[in-house]
Chains A and B, each alone.
Chain A
């Protein structure tokens, strides 16, 4: 989130702030919708509310969009919270395929033609 000065943005930030726990390094906007995330530890510790729901929903790798849908949270909020949980070591992310990765496309083709 960029620091903003105009009123409208301030209002927006007030809405988002309750969800921002640490304002960490992992920018939410870098988390693509298909990116897989998984819990890095066993228990949710003292995580509260939505953060806890997110953590509990990914014992196995799951895409961020799927996570959002399964726990019924808007995508934007899910992203911000996931970014936070990554920074605080609760979750880790996996790589997404590069769009020029021919090997990945061949694997998909192979599966489709079966």
Chain B
């Protein structure tokens, strides 16, 4: 067996937006839960000195797993809703291939912290509108306008309870990540100037027949 490699995605969104449900739908195992510590040291906020002694808060995060092939396994981490300071978010997002921002259409603006976060970190993400029962039908373009989301950010409907729907979101995310990777590769090639090596010059040379 070749050396195994692991990769991860992050599932984020406001309180009760369906993160755990989403992870459950895509994971091959019953979602697992672990506790991360959130010390004031890790948070890095300036009012840490005002706290008498050191408080350690634990946040539970749940995650699932998806085995891709014999040497690649993908983990999906839901960001803990209670961790407003984002310490745990850094931990989960560092090195992530991409992220999903789940939007509860009844509470649109709750997704802002997640949007801001992934944008600031340069992590490619898609937005999945989780249509809860009793919520008004939301047109994608309406939501895009209301939240002022760039047209480059994919936005799709989703039902976090349905495996097909959730896998469809993952597929969209992968396509988005791939186009981001090739954009970035093109950008760095542009900026590296004309002395950069000719790529695949072999391919450009017609092969002699016979």
Whether the pair A112, B171 counts as a contact (CB closer than 8 A) is yes
- Chain B contact residues, CB within 8 Å of chain A: 3-8, 32-37, 39, 41, 53-54, 58, 63, 65-66, 68-69, 72-75, 77, 91-92, 94-97, 123, 167, 170-171, 174-175, 177-178, 181-182, 184-185
Cα(A31)–Cα(B82), bound, Å: 23
B-side contacts of A109, CB under 8 Å: 171, 174-175, 178
Partner of A8, one of B54, B96, B167, B185: B54
A-side contacts of B58, CB under 8 Å: 74
Q: Please report the total number of A residues contacting B with Cβ < 8 Å.
A: 38
16 additional contacts (CB under 8 A) given A32-B8, A33-B92, A96-B8: A9-B54, A34-B95, A36-B4, A36-B5, A36-B6, A65-B32, A65-B77, A66-B32, A70-B32, A75-B37, A76-B36, A96-B5, A96-B7, A100-B184, A101-B7, A109-B175
Given contacts A8-B54, A74-B58, contact A94 B178 (CB under 8 A): no
Partner of B178, one of A33, A102, A113: A102
Whether the pair A11, B174 counts as a contact (CB closer than 8 A) is no
Q: In this complex, what residue of B is CB-closest to A97?
A: B7
- Chain A contact residues, CB within 8 Å of chain B: 8-9, 11-12, 32-36, 61, 63, 65-66, 68-70, 74-76, 78, 94-102, 104-109, 111-113
